Amino acid sequence: MDYFTKLAQWRKVNPVVQTGKLMQFVPEESIYVYFRYDDSKTVMVILNANETSKELKTSRFMERIGIKKTGKDVISGQDVVLPDMKLDAWEVKVLEF
């Protein structure tokens, strides 16, 4: 299944993406992060708009992440370890908490 098909199918069954509250953070080093959340779920969307890989320190997002140590990548289904994560050039990650 390709990336966009999988993302579209995931989006259909996750109302937090359509109706959840939105919290955006000021981009740093051309990395844009925002959250969609409600009482039951939090989704973090990360875009590395750089031509090189970067490391994202997630400590500045603790207001939304809380004490969680991992998030689930909605495309691969694998856990992503926090607090720091490596992002490839132009990579987009969507994580569920």
Express each pLDDT in 31-58 by its tens digit.
999 999 999 999 999 999 999 999 999 9
Domain count, the chain: 1
Give pTM, 2 decimals: 0.91
Residue 38, CB-side half-sphere exposure with 13 Å CA sphere: 8
Residue 86 β-bridge partners:
55
Residue-number span of the structural domain to which 15 is assigned: 3-96
Return the CATH number at 23.
Answer: 2.60.40.1180
Q: What is the DSSP code string of 71-89?
A: EEETTT--EEESSEEEE-T
Residue 3: pLDDT band with limits 50, 70, 90: confident
Residue 87: CB atoms within 10 A of its CB come to 18
Which pLDDT score, from 0 to 100, does residue 89 have?
98
